[in-house]
Structure 1
Amino acid sequence: MVELTIESLGARGDGIAHDGTGTIYVPHGAPGDRVAATLTGKRGDGRLARLDAVLRPGPDRVEPSCRHFGLCGGCAMQHLNGRAYKDWKLNILCQALARRDLGSTVIKEMITMPTASRRRARFAALRMRNGVQLGFNESGSHKIINLTECHILRPAIIDLLDGLRGLLTDLPAQNKRADVQVTETETGLDLWLVADLPHDAQTDMRLADFAQEVDLARLSTGKRPEVVIVRRAPQVTFTGVAVTPPPDGFLQASRAGEAALVRLVQDGVADATNVADLFAGVGTFSFALARGTKVKAVEGADDQAEALIAARNTARRSGIEVEVRDLERRALSAKELSTLDAVIFDPPRAGAARQVDNLAVSTVPKIIAVSCNPATFARDGAILADAGYQLQSVTPVDQFPWSRHLELVAVFQR
């Protein structure tokens, strides 16, 4: 065991300390803490340590709100006060921009989300002799924290956990791991048991009974979701349009976060009348822009595009054209982009390098980037900047409180 003073925070949220031989990373350390820690191994050019005790707390340390904090991998930063947490999170974005020579002066005020607002969770589950373990994994481990509370999730999701444990106890999956995804929609909970279950009479009866007991909207099973029970369509509303997303379809983490992103995208598009929404998902931005604007929505996943088309047709939003196209394999060409006034792209965490290469040589006057990864955003943004686009603004949106993940909306203009 060693005594260390935490000097700063790293991008993962670990406390950073030094001894005579180099850097030591201490998860859950706060700047100014004097801690007792045990060295556990290497990390990159440094070493990793386990925090054993806080001998003297630093000025930024506060009492975590959740009993699971410190073990559960869902949150990393509940031990920081609000100011220190905000500064640390903004620094992640500043450093990502600086590494690509994109100035930090364009960063706007960070938009924060309330606690207990996240509407989707994917849990790990394991049936054991003494019952079902259900929750999030420990950080850096496959060990499951048996969740009894969570301060980031919607209460309806937490209230389902005990019932889920009972259901999983009754299903034929002993000593096998499975994932469980729960989404709160406007018409009820949408449950996906990510496990291959036999569809015999006993299993189907238990699933049906459970769906009724807890008033599920929809229940799916399988490694690839197969809908087995629909008591009512699980719906979300995008700018007045009801959409039924597929069980594995993408949704923004919270309704409040979604509203903030939509407002920022609308402001970025401004008076453009011919817009492409790339990586459109089930239409979060397409429906928000479709009033008075012609929208070309491009989505690579068939089931998500089908949900978008169905909602468009029902709502009679004829201004939205939908194309099913894998943009990572077949990006829109500069010629295809040439008629557009603005382009929005909201790719997965890996970014949109191939599509950005074509945007960089296009004549599109305005580009709005939505990203959940500052590092890949900065990589893609640098390509646009090198091609003559000016980065007008970057607005961070903290959709993932107490984690190292950060959403953002950026506006580029020629």
Structure 2
Amino acid sequence: MRHRPRRKSRPATPRQADPIEVRVERFGARGDGIARGPEGPLYIPDTVPGDRAIVLPGATRGDGRAATLREVLESGPGRVTPPCAHADRCGGCTLQHASGDLIAAMKRDQLAEALARKGLPADIVAPTVSVPAGSRRRLRLSALRLAAGTVLGFNERASGKVIDVRECPVARRELTDLFPALRDLIGGLECLGRGADVQVTLSDTGVEILLIPTSGGDPSLDERQDLVDFAERHDIARIGWETDGIAEPLVARRTPRTVFAGVPVDLPIGGFLQPSREGQEILTRLVLQGVPDNAPTVADLYAGCGSFAVPLSKRGANVVAVEGSEAAVAALRRGAAGLRLQAECRDLARDPLGVTELNRFQAVVFDPPRAGAAAQAETLAQSAVPRIVAVSCNPATLARDLRSLVDGGYTLDSAVPVDQFTWSGHVEAVAVLSRPV
């Protein structure tokens, strides 16, 4: 008996949800408002707690659904008018509709909740310390060279589309004033192909521009001359070009430089710098408060170019700074010549300092990337270092690392959230731990 082949069934098209009225109850980790929906939580951008709104449920997200705001029927406390014309589309800022006090409270709660999820005390979290808008000195822009003209700006929310940005109240004016000229420059660089990422950094000695092409080849001689002319006209300190992760200077009129505790340090091309000077000063102050004044030997792990190591050394400590970037270590060694500071290049994720190495220090500072310092925290937990100061831009990995240290016998004494990512869901923190004698 022959059987007919079974016809393949097509997946059912999900039914379009109807708009519903909700009351936003709280912020989520990304800065979205969260409300109760018929199928679980709804995550709603552009809302604040207390908003009564009409929303359209959309795709599944975690244990609930994403939703689109259709109309605010009643504003919650803390809702404000966004200051930027691009606020409704730009993915760089997601919280311009919320007051500064509301954002500060949200970021404190974000850190407290991350600690609580790991069984750590949340009541020790201090109020958020925030930097003002218009202070950001480092931006990474996207540029697209199109037939209709060059687009320069940031990605649209949840999209690969680039918004052509004409203003940015987050950033320093020295950077935003360059946008029109940068747009024209990139439009004329055929070597960039379809486009590039553009990193602009304001150092103490001027602006650095780093071009990272998405495709294309090296600049021609004429294009290199165009870059030189651009740097001269706009007083650019340095223009660099990055290919396959390797950056080289194309125009170097002067070296970008920053100052840590009165010590000038030359920045490697494309090197890391805290997003704002104000944020750097806040983090440095909190680190110095966390390290005892009389600690004779201090390790600064993931030290970068020395934003903590140099001030600690200037205060009187013998500092060992450990960093994975050879360029950053070389810059720190040059800048810190004459200080009681030793810089070492080492990949701490693969080769963390061991217990014996750690036990020669009276204090350890660590400031890892977003992935945290899991391996280093494990060895620190077994050490006898009396004081540890942890700096992080990711509450989740910070809480994980702090849990390791507390399990090793440390006491979590304090945690301070720092907001230098204005109008975004990101938050930094400085935590201090001590080992009871």
Cα distance in 1, alignment partners of residues 233 and 56 from structure 2: 48
Contact 1:3 1:34 in 2 (8 A): no
Contact 1:4 1:17 in 2 (8 A): no
Residues 174 and 401 (structure 1 numbering): CA distance in 2 closer, same or farther, change over 3 Å?
closer
Matches within 5 A, 1:348-387: 348-387=369-408
Which of residues 186, 202, 207 is equivalent to 2:204?
186
Cα distance in 2, alignment partners of residues 268 and 19 from structure 1: 44
Cα distance in 2, alignment partners of residues 300 and 376 from structure 1: 19
Give the structure 2 partner of residue 258 of structure 1.
Answer: 280
Quick one: which amino acid aligns to residue 199 of structure 1? P
Give the structure 2 partner of residue 211 of structure 1.
Answer: 231
Q: How many residues align?
A: 411
Give the structure 2 partner of residue 3 of structure 1.
Answer: 20
Give the structure 2 partner of residue 116 of structure 1.
Answer: 134
Which of residues 235, 244, 260 is equivalent to 1:238?
260
Quick one: which amino acid aligns to residue 310 of structure 1? R
Q: Please report how far the alpha carbon of residue 175 of structure 1 lies from its aligned counterpart in structure 2 after TM superposition.
A: 6.0
Q: Secondary structure at the match of 1:297?
A: strand
Matched, 1:152 2:170: yes
Cα distance in 2, alignment partners of residues 101 and 31 from structure 1: 26
Q: Please report how far the alpha carbon of residue 286 of structure 1 lies from its aligned counterpart in structure 2 after TM superposition.
A: 0.9
Deviations 1:67-114 (A, max 9, x none): 111210111111112332222111101100100111122222321101
Q: Please report how far the alpha carbon of residue 127 of structure 1 lies from its aligned counterpart in structure 2 after TM superposition.
A: 0.6
Name the larger-Rg structure: 2
Cα distance in 1, alignment partners of residues 420 and 133 from structure 2: 10
Cα distance in 1, alignment partners of residues 219 and 334 from structure 2: 29
Give the structure 2 partner of residue 267 of structure 1.
Answer: 289
Which of residues 229, 248, 271 is equivalent to 1:226?
248
Contact 1:4 1:18 in 2 (8 A): no
Stretch deviating more after TM superposition (364-373 or 192-201) = 192-201
Cα distance in 2, alignment partners of residues 299 and 342 from structure 1: 17
Which of residues 341, 365, 368 is equivalent to 1:344?
365
Q: Secondary structure at the match of 1:225?
A: strand
Matched, 1:54 2:76: no
Quick one: which amino acid aligns to residue 354 of structure 2? S
Q: Secondary structure at the match of 1:326?
A: coil
Which ranges of structure 2 fall in alignment gaps of 5 or more residues? 1-17
Contact 2:238 2:253 in 1 (8 A): yes
Which of residues 177, 180, 186 is equivalent to 2:195?
177
Matches within 5 A, 1:323-342: 323-342=344-363
Q: Secondary structure at the match of 2:190?
A: coil
Give the structure 2 partner of residue 301 of structure 1.
Answer: 325
Identity %: 45
Contact 1:197 1:222 in 2 (8 A): no
Q: Secondary structure at the match of 2:162?
A: coil
Cα distance in 1, alignment partners of residues 49 and 418 from structure 2: 24
Deviations 1:16-64 (A, max 9, x none): 1223222211111122222232333111121111212223322331111
TM-score normalized by the length of structure 1: 0.96
Matched, 1:285 2:304: no
Q: Pairwise CA RMSD of aligned residues?
A: 1.3
Cα distance in 1, alignment partners of residues 75 and 126 from structure 2: 32
Quick one: which amino acid aligns to residue 211 of structure 1? A
Residues 56 and 109 (structure 1 numbering): CA distance in 2 closer, same or farther, change over 3 Å?
closer
Cα distance in 1, alignment partners of residues 182 and 147 from structure 2: 16
Q: Secondary structure at the match of 1:253?
A: coil
Cα distance in 2, alignment partners of residues 83 and 57 from structure 1: 16
Contact 1:127 1:173 in 2 (8 A): no
Q: Secondary structure at the match of 1:194?
A: strand
Contact 2:135 2:171 in 1 (8 A): yes
Contact 2:352 2:376 in 1 (8 A): yes
Residues 197 and 182 (structure 1 numbering): CA distance in 2 closer, same or farther, change over 3 Å?
farther
Q: Please report how far the alpha carbon of residue 272 of structure 1 lies from its aligned counterpart in structure 2 after TM superposition.
A: 0.5
Cα distance in 1, alignment partners of residues 219 and 384 from structure 2: 54
Which of residues 75, 79, 82 is equivalent to 1:64?
82
Stretch deviating more after TM superposition (131-140 or 33-42) = 33-42
Q: Please report how far the alpha carbon of residue 410 of structure 1 lies from its aligned counterpart in structure 2 after TM superposition.
A: 0.9
Stretch deviating more after TM superposition (336-345 or 174-183) = 174-183
Contact 1:132 1:168 in 2 (8 A): yes
Which ranges of structure 1 fall in alignment gaps of 5 or more residues? none
